[in-house]
Structure 1
């Protein structure tokens, strides 16, 4: 039986927006209904308090998982504290790790920060891979590898992932003389991001008035780059972005898109980007599962059934997080149990149904609630099948400690200077390199 889900805006957008350097709302919010405190061990009723620190909206409360766990464990109370922006959350986490105080029992870590956490701070976290109730084989291999040290210590349990697809406007494709059926659209660019650009050239030849092929050069850059194993760092941990073939290819694709006037010259997650969805300004955008709810929200009901989903040219990942348990956690044993339960296949599937958080668990991907899922707003697109196939073929990326900083410099400084300010590709690249050097004190 196929299930149709109607997901809302995925929380990881906030985390990924930070990765792209597109800041959303600032500030802090308590999402757990209790103002979690790292000093809490028991509440007034004598229950064990497990505190959870996250960024954005992870959806556990919204999906009813905290309530369900508390019913299964009546001696436990869960209190969650959320900081809206990942770029504010992680520095605070590092500060608390350094002092050994102020830590929540469970701390989330975003994929853009997991390499630094694994390489520099693994000794401050519990090895969850050997914890009771944790089966390492539940996770996709590449996801588990991201949070595993060289000596096999697994410090984080994977939550969601962001397998890549392409969202496109069927009506605009038809008006531009392109096929609109998702299978035929997927064939247009299958296996090669250059074919996606060639499709853009065809679109622009007959583009409906006031529209362009894609939202932004930075979006194209990030999507194409994420298809590669090595990007900013090599396997030895050396920063190689200046000479990286993957970076060069993605940069050139983005520059060609700008030169061909295929982009709407937008910065993702800015208000103008949101408005462009409502106005039908662009015909396609690289989209992981969590972006489907975002598109539905911004494009509105008037665009219902105009959008569809097709496979991306190559498997890639955009977003995802982990749950960790610091060694200094007040309620370490209870935190381990909760983290294991929240990331178990059954809970990942429930979170997908309620919040559109795509599972990182191989076992969850095979459950009917995920595998058979369709999305009504996108013409009943078989998103479980499309994103599931992409997830299984995503390469095990080499993650570096400063991936986020390097990527932000390239997209928000280098590419935007070319796309929005009219600088040459050479000038944009030089500006990005200078910014990276300043950030890394080189």
Structure 2
């Protein structure tokens, strides 16, 4: 705004008398150049503009045109004519353009230094030859405007490109990290489970049974009804297609943090199927693929749930395997319907302290009590209660915790197969 007002005022200035070329004109140009250079930064203010104007021309030459507004604002920007030079009004109008560049640099519109005074903006300390253009406001050439605009663009483009590259790099890095975590998390979980299980799945032992040409598969099925019950069962496939002989049936329950898939991943279903047993693992209500059911909220409902499972699966006196939380289902069922079972394997089940020694002594089925050496909670408590069973045998797996069958699968399978062999 100051530059535009200065340009308008200079149009009304009288044409000054021509002056002799000399050292005074050159000194004035040098002072003006230094003042304009100090004002290219963003911190330039109106007071600094007045100082620069004063430094550029403290004593204007005689005959130079003055701005008519000087007398109106002695404290303002034109208290000393910053736009007057040795050559009068044409130079004053050129300096109005310089002031416009300085104001643009102050507001952030122009970020590049001012072009040389004697070139781009047409300031000649000696004045225009022959007095041409005297009394007229000189205008900045289009080349100078293009140079100033190009300078600002050249300095702004690298900063913008660097900012875009940095943000794009962070975005790509975040996507890569997310993708790597998505790929690695399943593998890490599987590795942790394998480490807890103590090693790979047991090797098939079909050759020991004389069935070298047989293999096994585990299928997931559902018992229809309300509620539906999902389960996994191992099947023995024979090349000749001969029917499988009569087998001892084994029914697996699971703990609080597990499902029927735990016995499949551990290799227990495959191992028992290859050993000639019918192995089935249930998903209790609200676990795995079995929907929640009100049957699990009461003791009578839990006993009825197991009774229904045995009926629907057509199990004839199976061996019941019950770890941890599933004791809420197995212990009352054993006490109420123990005659329907061939045997009972208790792996540190819960709820054993809720029943008396007299109730346990009425159970006459063979029982294997399994616990971990480091399980000083449920392992010790269940062992003390279940010792009241008349036909029990206890096995403590060394250096194992509560889920001893996961930490020591080989030892657990060895003890289980030995117990099942005794039942046959």
TM-score, with normalisation over the residues of structure 1?
Answer: 0.24
RCO comparison, higher one (Cα < 8 Å, 6+): 1
* Bigger-Rg structure (1/2): 2
